[in-house]
């Protein structure tokens, strides 16, 4: 998996600058490992590789959003700060959407509850 291409995609998704993306490299590597371990194809072609890199970037974004601050608004006197409280939700939805369309490349990680009948 090409870490540079995954990082470039993550930069687009998060709007982070290259310095911030460099600090996220461990998350990118973890995401690439996660996707690669679940890959169904031993030798993906170039189109499949791009899709796997997109999945890795989406998963890295999800990991990044989980580690982020959930601050949505802070007011102290004349200072008023706001941030998107839904960043994690967007990352999760994007990851799930890509995963839903990538069943041919990667195993889904959802846990299925069932029952045992005797």
pLDDT tens, residue by residue, 3-60: 999 999 999 998 889 899 999 999 999 999 999 999 988 899 999 999 999 999 999 9
Tokens for 18, please give them: 């290259």
Q: What are the pLDDT digits (tens) for 78-105?
A: 665 555 555 568 888 988 888 888 888 8
Whole-number Å distance between alpha carbons of 81 and 75: 6
pLDDT band at residue 71, thresholds of 50, 70 and 90?
A: very low
The per-residue pLDDT of the chain, averaged, comes to 81
Overall pTM surpassing 0.85 (yes/no): no
Which pLDDT does position 89 carry in this prediction? Answer: 84
Burial 45-72 (b: 16+ CB within 10 A, else e): eeebbebbbbbbbbbbbbbbbeeeeeee
Find the Cα–Cα–Cα–Cα dihedral 86, 88, 90, 93, rounded to 10°.
-130
Q: Which two tokens stand for residue 69?
A: 């601050």
Q: What is the model's pLDDT at position 26?
A: 93
pLDDT of residue 9: 93
């Amino acid at each position: 998996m090409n870490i540079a291409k995954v990082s470039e995609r993550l930069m687009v998704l998060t709007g982070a600058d290259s310095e911030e993306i460099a600090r996220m490299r461990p998350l990118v590597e973890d995401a690439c490992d996660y996707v690669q371990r679940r890959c169904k194809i031993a030798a993906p072609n170039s189109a499949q590789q791009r899709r796997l890199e997109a999945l890795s970037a989406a998963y890295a974004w999800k990991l990044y959003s989980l580690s982020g601050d959930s601050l949505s608004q802070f007011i102290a006197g004349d200072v008023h700060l706001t941030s998107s409280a839904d960043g994690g939700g967007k990352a999760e939805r994007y990851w799930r959407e890509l995963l839903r369309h990538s069943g041919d490349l990667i195993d889904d990680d959802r846990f299925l509850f069932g029952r045992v009948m005797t």
